[in-house]
Structure 1
């Protein structure tokens, strides 16, 4: 995580086949930019416990949210 940037993005889960207990379909997650993980095709996702884990980028779609929605999601995360 040495190359982890402070930039935050948001992602919607579109596939939880291998992680049904960890990922909720159609849920908006906070995605932390991690260039090293991206090189391997992974995305760093913050779960409801506040911890971040690597998942295949294929499980998510990065989305842009209005500022008010971003603030709301970050309050919950």
Structure 2
């Protein structure tokens, strides 16, 4: 996946109701979706490899050292 300036990494804290799509403590990539964020949602690339909307409260943004960030985005 190519890095874009708006690519954000988040960690899943709560997957209640989404156990098949999200894993707790796993790092996910978000896609920009300002309209969804206004409604308390994040667009996440989940376990299916597709992007879906999930409650923003279930995630926390993380900052990684650049080398590790590149490795996560390349995986």
Q: CA deviation at 1:37?
A: 0.5
Give TM-score scaled by structure 2 length: 0.86
Aligned length: 72
Verify: 1:36 aligned to 2:44, yes or no: no
Higher strand share: 1
Q: CA deviation at 1:6?
A: 5.8
Which structure 2 residue ranges, 5 or more long, are not aligned? none
Q: CA 1:54–1:16 in structure 2 vs 1: closer, same or farther (change >3 Å)?
A: same
**What CA RMSD, in Å, does the superposition of the two structures yield over aligned residues?**
1.6
User: d(CA) in 2 for partners of 1:49 and 1:66?
Assistant: 27
Give TM-score scaled by structure 1 length: 0.84
